[in-house]
Structures are given as C-alpha cells and as structure tokens.
Amino acid sequence: MHLHGYQGLRADLVVNELGITKGAYYHYFSGKQELGYSIVDEFIAPEQLQFWGALNGYFGHPIEGIVERLKALRTELKNDYFMTGSELNNLIQEMSPLDEGFRARLQRILEGMRLAIQGAIERGQKSRLVKADANAEEIALFVMANLLGAFSLAKAFQDRKFFDRCIEQMIGYLRGFKGQ
C-alpha cells in the first residue's frame, strides 16, 4: 500500500506475501476497505500520534522540542522511506476525495499533530520563551504543510536531500519565534 497506494494494493499479493490464503484473509477482514482502514487505525495513526505526542513530555524550550522532532525524522527515517514518501501524505492525496472513511481518519491524525505542535508553542508563550504575538495555530499548520510538502519534494526528486534542506529551513523559521 505504501508503494502502490490503496487502490493499487492487490489482495492476491497481500495473501502471498503474508504466506496466508484467501480463506484466512477474508476470515479476518470483510474486504479491502476494512483492511485499509485497519492499516490506518492500527499502524499509521498510532505511530504518528506517538511521534508528535512526545512533544508533551519534552522538557526544555518548546521550540527546541519541535526542532528535535524534526531532526528525529531526519535520523530515524531510512533513505528508502523517502522514495515512497510519507504514508500519511500518500493516503491523503489518494483517498481524501474518494472515501470519507479514509478522509476522516486522516484528518484525525492531522488534528492530533496540530494539537501537539500548537500546544508546544502555546506552552512556550506562557513561559515567555516564545514571542507572544506568534499565532500558535497558524504556525502549527504551516509546519505541517511544510513537512508534507518536503516529503513530496523528496519523492519527486527521489532524493532525501530535498527533505533535509526543507527541514533545515523550517528549523531556522521556527527559531525566529524564540525569545522576545
């Protein structure tokens, strides 16, 4: 699914790669849609929410907390990951206009990301570590858009370098909101 998309996912290939049969497959899943939903619910969503939820447990400058998460993406994600790109971004592009079940799930994930980032910025503002006139929600959305777009660029060029460069630029942007 990561490589071919949900629509390109072939039931036969799934059962072959898993070494199971169609009997087992359809015993646990009513069909392709439920399989797709399960992949989002049980893998993509928990992974994303855990990754960005870590911001809530970060001690230190909240802006540096976000920066640390961005850098974590650079170190944790293997080179191959950037060839196929972010599962989240891929599914958004493919399924948002086609299947409301997918869309609602993906929107939830994005909202979780936004709340985590926005919360960090707001905590920084309360402790006067972040400029008071910064709009936390707008910045969070901006960072998320940038992240999704950085994955797109790296995928188009088939070169993670473009992701890294965008991240560096974003880090500079974020640090501009520090102090007063």
Q: Are 171 and 178 in contact (CB under 8 A)?
A: no
> In the bound complex, what is the minimum distance in angstroms from residue 9's beta carbon to DNA?
6
Which residues contact a second copy (rule: CB under 8 A)?
3-5, 7-8, 83-85, 89-90, 92-94, 96-98, 103, 106-107, 110, 138-139, 141-142, 144-150, 152-153, 155-158, 162, 165-166, 168-170, 173, 176
Toward a second copy, which CB reaches closer, 5 or 53? Answer: 5
> What's the CA angle centered on 95, arms 85 and 136, to 5 degrees?
70
- In the list a second copy, DNA, none, the entry touching 178 (Cβ below 5 to 8 angstroms by class) is none
In the region spanning residues 28 to 87, those forming contacts with DNA, defined by CB under 7 A, are 28, 31-33
Residues 6+ apart with CB under 8 A from 177: 63, 121, 124, 130, 131, 134, 139
Q: Are 173 and 67 in contact (CB under 8 A)?
A: no
> What's the CA angle centered on 118, arms 133 and 57, to 5 degrees?
125
- In the list a second copy, DNA, none, the entry touching 123 (Cβ below 5 to 8 angstroms by class) is none
CA-CA distance, 23 to 149, in Å (whole number)?
40
- In the list DNA, a second copy, none, the entry touching 23 (Cβ below 5 to 8 angstroms by class) is DNA
Chain residues binding DNA by CB under 7 A are: 9-12, 20-24, 26-28, 31-33
